[in-house]
Structure 1
Amino acid sequence: MKFITDFLTAKESSARKDLGALLVIFGVAFFQFLGHLPLFEPDEARYAEIPREMLERGDFITPMLNYVKYFEKPPLLYWLNALSLSLFGENEFAARFACALAGLLTVLLTYHVGRTLFGRREGLFAALILGTSTGFLIQARINLTDMLVTFCMTACLGCFAIAVRDNEPRRGLYCHLGYLFAALAVLAKGLIGIVFPGAIIFLYLLLGKRWQLLKEMRLVTGTLLFLLVSAPWFILVSQRNPEFARFFFIHEHFQRFTSKVHGRYQPPWFFIPVLLGTMLPWSFFIPTGLRGVWRERLSVTGRHALYLAIWAIFIFVFFSKSDSKLVPYILPVFPPLALLMGREFVRQLDGPDRFMRIQGYVLAAILIILGVGVCIYPYFPKAKDLSPLEGLVTGSIFLVEGVAALAMSRRGNLASLFLALCFCAYLLGIVGPISLMDNVATRKSSKDLCLIVKEAAGPDAVIASFGHEQGLPFYTHRRVVTVGGMGELEFGSKQGDQSAWFMDPTQFSRVWDGPKQVFLLLRDNHINEFRPLVKTPIRELGRNKKKVLVTNR
């Protein structure tokens, strides 16, 4: 224990040694059993199927989902996943590899930024905080665009933070890297790759009274680099698909932010509990990280802290104001908050002040209550997500974490408190993906039924689903007929004649009663709605907790 504490609190140590330790520690956490679970519906399966179709068609410009045009996101994640699928095969590990790697690189990058801005210990503490934040680790192991965006945004804004340091010898390099990663952020998720860095840097120059930095930002060459990287795909996809620009920029950006068109509305305070839960156990120390930033803004390290605070607060407020909210949207605020908290933990190593002690007590109480609740949860009549053993293991981790937080807060031993929280949070991150996520998979995937179709369906068979099941085309490598609600395929269904692939139940009943064998994936309650429409008997092939697979032969 003393050896670890000494390593953690040493003011000087090789950056290579620190990065090596972080790489080993978090390489295990991010990549262990990465392909163990099936792809979750709808997001993971979607972001695996689009690159699979890119590889199949040899077209990396026009994204297609179930073989119709799909323009909701730019292509960077598709390209990376296509590369991963070509290297590792068309499997779950390959589908998640790029996002897990982005999460790991974000941890290493956070260390580099923290070490450069504040010092070795601050960088190491920040990296450990970020890597052991429960929600960050779990979401890095899921195939979503948000982790890739988080890495690109952290690289862009982190490079700028380093570039504007006084007497920075590699200012030109870091400035141009910032523009490069801004372009990659655009290719990962669209206009926020411009909006976020532009707004955050502007606010920093305004509030920090540092307008003279505009002369040092390599605006001309940086803008050229940005356009060279980001513009070609937008030009090519617009040339090939004249309908792209209006759908992507108006529907997917302006309307997503200002309206409820995507059906993802949540109240403005939605991300407050989300951040508290997903950044456990560190979220209770966010007030300490932010405290005093404005007062110290004109000092050298205070300027860096001001920049990080603007970075976190702007993104948090932006998404809170949006009418479209999902949990992963908040991921880009994790790195700056981790850096601010890491800085404050180091500043108070010799003895935490009263404010930090209070936060430690509150955290301890929450963790103990949470631990007891998780332990007894499996014994409630309607509890289905946890077995008694899983509840006991997970709840015990929270209990140990809470008791350690209470003991260390009372003693004022901040280094030991930090290590205890890191260890327990890391252990939870190791246990969670193996056991807890198995229960999520039973609700969020129909892989078992899809594989039955893959084995049984001949080349002339019709494969269909009531509503679009994203994993069905991925696991069967076949185009799927969508019956009823088209969901996010609505735009693509209107491009060209797609009548053979999008039907209402009455139209599809004629296919069911026709000469071809049909495999249909649907919910149990939809069978009773479909049965009166057909003459050919419905034969069940399999079912899970979510769906039923039936055939007409």
Structure 2
Amino acid sequence: MNLLHRFISAGRRVDGRSDVWYVFLIITGWVFAYFHGLDRPVSLWDETAYMTAAQFAVERGYWIVPHVPYNGWSGPEAIGVQPFLLKPPFAIWLQAASMELFGVSPAAGRLPAVVCTLLLAVLTYRVGRTIYSRNAGFVAAVVVLSVTMVFENYHGGRSAAMDVPMLLFGTLAVYATFLGVRRDVSRIRLFSVAGLAVGIAILTKGFNAGIFAFIVLPLVLIHWRAFLSRGAFLGVSLAVLVPLSWFAVVELLHDGMVVSMFYEQVLNRVAGEKISHPGTFGFMNFPYFRTAPTLFAPWWFLFLAALVTVPLGVVVRRGRSRLTTETGFVCWWSLVVFAFFVPTGNHRWYLMPMVVPMGLLCGRLLDRGFRPGPEAAGIAVGVWLTMMQTAAVGDALALAPVLSTIPEPAARASMAIGVLGVHIAVVYRSQWAGTISSLTRIDARCLTVGKRVFIASLIVIVLVQVPFADTGWRASEQQERVADELHSMTAPDTPVYVHSSADVSIYAFVFHAERPLRSVTIDEINTDPSVEYVLINESETARIDRLHSRVGSMSADYFGPYILLRLNQTSASSHTQPSLRPLEVDGVLR
């Protein structure tokens, strides 16, 4: 595995300089940002479903086919131990392995995605270093670590979701393919790594990994002869056999699984049956144009400037060269992701494969933007647009004593002209500062130091400004508290009966409660004395004809409030006064 060895050996010295400091800084930033809040409450939907499946693998041995005690996507009848076949299992296996080592907890469930984020950042550094330079690769890694899509999104690198692991292996496949078409000697090993990585990406999130086939399409078309080789055949075989081995086993155990997964995860979403937010245009299932500046903050506007000026600068200086072709491929990488998911995607995290090429272009822009060329204008415009979106600048302009005849947009335009003018004056200093050789040498040294100080200060500002607010919702915290209350009152084998009015978005409660679940109707609640603990919507409690007390209440996203009741064995109609004292929860009588 020569390629993997190259990735791990990032500390070796090249050209008299060492990569170890860059990797050390990447790891430092990762530790600083990604270990904060790992034990926060779990989210109500996806990550808790995956962690519950991992919990069942550890505690009940469901490793090959993940199982869950509850599946809120499948309707009110889906209560009780059942296969979880909405997604392939690789990310769940990673979470289960983490729970085996560190115990069942939200932090253990999130740890694999956190580690994958670091590996993705180091891999991005290697890609940037291969194509451009160490500085560009380092900035690209910082972009990956700090962009909102990865850092704060609840499908990002600090959550127990599948997207970052899929992105890691998909990016590895793209990089190995990229190296494979450039080299003849190690092509078999590189294509084998690419195929294995593709297979794992598919085994991580199924058909969503297909976007990486579109990303490498130009490499296949341009270097098609390289793919008529034994190495390419081996890579394709691995890409097919690795996921197919699991799909085949599960298809034998659960007939029709592959078809239902494809229908659920692909056809329904493309057809618009799972629209989460209205799109900007009629053909869209999600408003990607409106949300992109937030999803990719704080780098979006710098990326837009780089998308235009970086390829322009390379073409102007290099003409037809390898760097021009590689830069074109990086631009294609980002654009094809956006173009593919704008009409077909319905969730924000589908754009996550754009993060790596975005980082590469931003890294090249910052590395090249302090020398004459199109990148100089790009960095000026990008930094200004980024500054204009910050709350600090907006508040400063709002408080500034501006004449009533000069509206705020004019003030912002003036700032834009000022920033752009100063930047142009610095970049094109040789046109006005003279041509004295000694001054030029001093100026060149100062320019190099100034560029590094600028990049370092920008990175420090980004890392300081990353939002450390916990992303667990209040509803998750409520469900965790109710589950803890249930723990203090019951034995581990005590069942909780769930009414159909409370069968949506209770994954956080299910994960923390760790109690068997049973489905129940109102008639069974009123007549079956074995039903003791019931989770039900508050609006349905009036139909209960048994004495009961409220253990706790909780919301569930847009649903609820849900009530956990403890039932007496006596009918309420047979008593004039309640014989069961209300329980005290959080210091309040319920």
**Fold equivalence (TM over 0.5):** yes
Q: Determine if the alignment matches structure 1 residue 328 to structure 2 residue 360.
A: no
**Equivalent residue, structure 1, for 2:207:** 191
Amino acid at match of 2:194: G
Q: Determine if the alignment matches structure 1 residue 441 to structure 2 residue 473.
A: yes
Whole-angstrom distance in 2 between the partners of 1:338 and 1:263? 28
**Equivalent residue, structure 2, for 1:390:** none
- Tell me the CA shift for residue 80 of structure 1: 0.5
Q: Contact (CA 8 Å) 1:513, 1:534: kept in 2 or not?
A: no
Whole-angstrom distance in 2 between the partners of 1:405 and 1:89? 56
**Which runs of no fewer than 5 residues in structure 1 stay unpaired?**
1-9, 377-402, 482-500
**Equivalent residue, structure 1, for 2:359:** 338
Whole-angstrom distance in 2 between the partners of 1:136 and 1:217? 37
Whole-angstrom distance in 2 between the partners of 1:521 and 1:164? 58
**Equivalent residue, structure 1, for 2:334:** 312
Normalised TM-score (structure 2)? 0.74
SS at match of 2:97: helix
Q: Determine if the alignment matches structure 1 residue 146 to structure 2 residue 163.
A: yes
Matching of residues 73-152 of structure 1 within 5 Å: 73-138=87-152, 139-152=156-169
Q: Contact (CA 8 Å) 1:453, 1:519: kept in 2 or not?
A: no
Q: Contact (CA 8 Å) 1:30, 1:104: kept in 2 or not?
A: no
Sequence identity (%) = 19
- Tell me the CA shift for residue 414 of structure 1: 5.3
1:533 aligns with one of 534, 543, 549? 543
SS at match of 2:564: strand
**Equivalent residue, structure 1, for 2:244:** 231
Which piece of structure 1 moves more, 59-68 or 361-370?
A: 361-370
Matching of residues 391-410 of structure 1 within 5 Å: 410=422
**Equivalent residue, structure 2, for 1:64:** 67
Whole-angstrom distance in 2 between the partners of 1:287 and 1:330? 15
SS at match of 2:216: helix
Q: Determine if the alignment matches structure 1 residue 450 to structure 2 residue 468.
A: no
SS at match of 1:61: coil
**Equivalent residue, structure 2, for 1:421:** 458
**Which runs of no fewer than 5 residues in structure 2 stay unpaired?**
1-13, 70-80, 400-414, 427-449, 569-590
Q: Contact (CA 8 Å) 1:146, 1:328: kept in 2 or not?
A: yes
1:181 aligns with one of 197, 212, 215? 197
Q: Determine if the alignment matches structure 1 residue 259 to structure 2 residue 276.
A: no
Whole-angstrom distance in 1 between the partners of 2:274 and 2:97? 33
Whole-angstrom distance in 1 between the partners of 2:454 and 2:21? 23
Cα 1:25/1:302, change in 2 over 3 Å: same
**Equivalent residue, structure 1, for 2:498:** 464
Q: Contact (CA 8 Å) 1:405, 1:420: kept in 2 or not?
A: no
Amino acid at match of 1:347: R
Q: Contact (CA 8 Å) 1:361, 1:405: kept in 2 or not?
A: no
Cα 1:518/1:249, change in 2 over 3 Å: same
CA offset digits 1:288-337 (Å, max 9, x no partner): 32225388484211211122222221121221111x51122211110111
Whole-angstrom distance in 1 between the partners of 2:393 and 2:551? 41
Cα 1:42/1:122, change in 2 over 3 Å: same
Cα 1:531/1:463, change in 2 over 3 Å: closer
- Tell me the CA shift for residue 199 of structure 1: 2.2
**Equivalent residue, structure 2, for 1:495:** none
2:564 aligns with one of 544, 549, 553? 549
- Tell me the CA shift for residue 365 of structure 1: 1.4
**Equivalent residue, structure 2, for 1:201:** 216
CA offset digits 1:148-191 (Å, max 9, x no partner): 111111111122222223x4653332221111110011001112
Q: Determine if the alignment matches structure 1 residue 32 to structure 2 residue 49.
A: no
Whole-angstrom distance in 2 between the partners of 1:539 and 1:298? 77
Whole-angstrom distance in 2 between the partners of 1:550 and 1:239? 41
Whole-angstrom distance in 1 between the partners of 2:192 and 2:293? 35
* More helix per residue: 1
After superposition, the CA RMSD in angstroms is 3.1
**Equivalent residue, structure 2, for 1:22:** 26
* More strand per residue: 2
Q: Contact (CA 8 Å) 1:162, 1:174: kept in 2 or not?
A: yes
- Tell me the CA shift for residue 369 of structure 1: 5.6
CA offset digits 1:444-467 (Å, max 9, x no partner): 441111111222234444342612
Normalised TM-score (structure 1)? 0.79
CA offset digits 1:468-514 (Å, max 9, x no partner): 41122321222323xxxxxxxxxxxxxxxxxxx3x5xxx23422552
Which piece of structure 1 moves more, 251-260 or 99-108?
A: 251-260
Amino acid at match of 2:141: A
Q: Contact (CA 8 Å) 1:453, 1:476: kept in 2 or not?
A: yes
Aligned pairs, how many?
479
**Equivalent residue, structure 2, for 1:3:** none
Max radius of gyration: which structure?
A: 2
Q: Deviating runs (4+, > 6 A) in structure 1?
A: 403-409
Whole-angstrom distance in 1 between the partners of 2:287 and 2:515? 39
Amino acid at match of 1:342: G
- Tell me the CA shift for residue 227 of structure 1: 3.0
SS at match of 1:190: helix
Whole-angstrom distance in 2 between the partners of 1:144 and 1:32? 17
Cα 1:169/1:315, change in 2 over 3 Å: same
Cα 1:13/1:168, change in 2 over 3 Å: farther
- Tell me the CA shift for residue 46 of structure 1: 0.8
**Equivalent residue, structure 2, for 1:478:** 515
